[in-house]
Amino acid sequence: MSAPEQLPLDVAQIQQLIPHRAPFLWLDDVTELTPTRIVAHKHIPASLDVFQGHYPHFPVLPGVLQCEAAFQAGAVLIATQFPPADGQVPVVTRLNNVQFRKMVSPGQTLELEVELTEQLTNAFFLKGKVSVDGKVCVRLEFACALAAPQA
């Protein structure tokens, strides 16, 4: 699929581009999309099951879920520029230089900025930033590839 012309993209449009679904879809919208950059958002409601155990009296969104939201934004970016063959899904193959800088609490909204820095055949190299209210929560570099599901 080529880059959509109308922004913002909503959840239904995002689901046309990537295979992720609730309860593991970590994108609500896409507000910026170029051939090498995407900006997306995810509101973090207090009702998320993860807060029942992480931590019940001091709820914090796990950093790995913040990274996953960035991965999904990268997958949308890749899907708009390099449509996957039938059945292929984006999988993360490397995660480097992760820096957790600020905790995320229920009620906040993640802003996800991901940039495609290099593409070599079926490998995509990206860098991302997760922010809340303009303050960086996570910085990361990652790589992913398109893979066929295994039987």
Catalytic residues: 54
The token pair at 83 is 């449509």
Radius of gyration of the chain (CA): 15
